[in-house]
Amino acid sequence: MMVNILSSICIWWILFDTLKSFFFPKESDTTAKSKEEKNPFFTAKIKRVMIFALLIRLLFFIYGFVMTISWYSNQGDSEIKALEVFSTGDGIRYEMIAKSGYSAYMPGETELRNLCFYPLYPFLMRIVNVFVGNMQLAGILISVICFCVAMTLLYKIVEEDYGEKIAQTAVILISLAPHSFFYGYVMTESLFLMLTLLAWLFIKKRRWGIAAFCGMLSALTRNFGVLIVIPYCLALWKEYREIWKQKEYRKAIQGFIFNGMWLGLILIAVGVYLGINYYYGGSCFKFMEFQTGFWRHRPCYFGSGIQGMLQELFSEDMPKRMLYVSRIPNVLNIFFFLGLLLVSFKEHKEDYVLYATIYFMICTSDLSQMSLSRFMVVLFPIFIFLAKKVSHNKVYFYSVIAVEIIFGMYLYSLKLLGFKIF
């Protein structure tokens, strides 16, 4: 297995460096520039980013298929359903919701624990399944397409705020992050990231209604979707504060109130999810019973959560397998993200910093957060902060990429072999 992983790392490094040079050339040709002037969004750069993102996902799939087939063939298992490799854990529950709704019980369960999962992703799976005829394939296609769109949105947003170099670096860093393999699974990471970035882009363009609608869809994908109110409110305040300073008081008040009301769409999303819980479970907060009971989530102050996860590393009761595949990566991510926040927050806009900080605080406000690293991989401002630090220094840049690939291949390989990485 070690030879398999090491050789894979070498190949991935070569492929990555080649793809980077091809899709992100140092100079753009004049033809591309002339086309970009005609189409301000779908430019040659954006096309390269989308193709780069798609090829990264394809490389993940190829490695996943090859390693899974070789491993299970050596174990004497001739019947291998390739798509099942990318639909494990929560993905199985999303499949069940897409097929049978929230009223169906998982095999071996007597409670409707699927109420803990948000409705938009399985709803889209059900629609796509009509065309592809396979629920797992439908989920994977949604994840891959959303990831590619998300990378183009990230590039567009970062390019406007920081320039082309940092935008390129941010896309590369998030695409190769250690837990980025989840972007190709039957999971909500890609959809959530795309909708959040889409809302962010429309906030920047002051398209309040469309931004709030995208925020509503994001909140129907994950509970973290409601955090889009942070950049929304900051942008709204800045917009009408300037009008207020020009002594157009009536216009400022009316605009602030009217465009602020669009946030009601996000409240509607929360209401829909609570309504689902009430209809099927008899309580708007039925999901909390399962979160604290079955999944053993224990909400706490974020500082206590960080301390608790650190103490678990030295607990004699912690299974070694869980320690190496979940707890240690979680703690490493916590301190890396926290350190990056501390050294970067003065260099960036308030919306990025506040969103990242509050998201981080919520992620760590749990004494038993097994999925922390997966939740953090969609925290895109962190990758922008990191990109700004390393984009102009090749040594730093390639050192970070090397760590991402090594750490990522280790975790991805364990996930493919059936280890419980949530």
Residue at 399 is within a domain:
no
Classify 337 as helix, strand or coil: helix
Residues 330 and 367 grouped into a single domain: yes
Which burial class, exposed, middle or buried, applies to 335 when counting CB atoms under 10 A from its CB (0-12, 13-18, 19+)?
exposed
pLDDT value of position 179: 95
Distance CA(361)–CA(93), nearest Å, equals: 27
Residue 25 has pLDDT above 70, yes or no: no
Residue at 411 is within a domain:
no
> Contact 265/211 with Cβ under 8 angstroms?
no
Residues 280 and 337 grouped into a single domain: no
Residue at 163 is within a domain:
no
pLDDT value of position 293: 87
Contacts of 349 (CB under 8 A, 6+ apart): 161
> Contact 220/119 with Cβ under 8 angstroms?
yes
Residue at 184 is within a domain:
no
In degrees, rounded to 5, the angle at the alpha carbon of residue 88 between the alpha carbons of residues 85 and 90 is 155
Residue at 226 is within a domain:
yes
Residues 282 and 304 grouped into a single domain: no
Average pLDDT, the chain: 87
Residue at 43 is within a domain:
no
Residue at 216 is within a domain:
yes
pLDDT value of position 83: 73
Distance CA(375)–CA(363), nearest Å, equals: 7
Distance CA(152)–CA(41), nearest Å, equals: 9
Q: At which of 263, 289, 315 does a domain end?
A: 289
What ranges make up the beta strands (E) of 69-173?
none
Residues 284 and 346 grouped into a single domain: no
Structural domain harbouring 281: 205-289
Residue 40: both structure tokens together:
């301000």
Residues 301 and 281 grouped into a single domain: no
Residue 365: both structure tokens together:
């406000």
Residues 273 and 337 grouped into a single domain: no
Residues 234 and 275 grouped into a single domain: yes
Q: Count up the domains in the chain and report the number.
A: 2
Residues 219 and 283 grouped into a single domain: yes
Secondary structure of the chain: what % helix, strand, coil (to 5)? Answer: 75, 0, 25
Residues 278 and 350 grouped into a single domain: no
Residues 284 and 315 grouped into a single domain: no
Residue 51: both structure tokens together:
């193709």
Distance CA(279)–CA(273), nearest Å, equals: 10
pLDDT band at 302, cuts 50/70/90?
Answer: confident
How far is residue 38 CA from its own chain's centroid?
32
Residue at 280 is within a domain:
yes
Buried b (16+ CB within 10 A) or exposed e, 4-26: eeeebbeebeeebeebbeebbee
Q: At which of 228, 263, 289 does a domain end?
A: 289
pLDDT band at 419, cuts 50/70/90?
Answer: confident
pLDDT value of position 399: 96
pLDDT value of position 235: 93
pLDDT in tens, 95-104: 999 999 999 8
Residue 73 to residues 66, 68, 70, 77: CA-CA distances in angstroms? 11, 8, 5, 5
pLDDT value of position 257: 94
Residue 247 to residues 139, 206, 253, 259: CA-CA distances in angstroms? 52, 21, 11, 19
Q: At which of 289, 309, 327 does a domain end?
A: 289
Residues 334 and 377 grouped into a single domain: yes
Neighbours of 358 (CB within 10 A): 14
Distance CA(132)–CA(99), nearest Å, equals: 14
| Percent above pLDDT 70 for the chain | 87
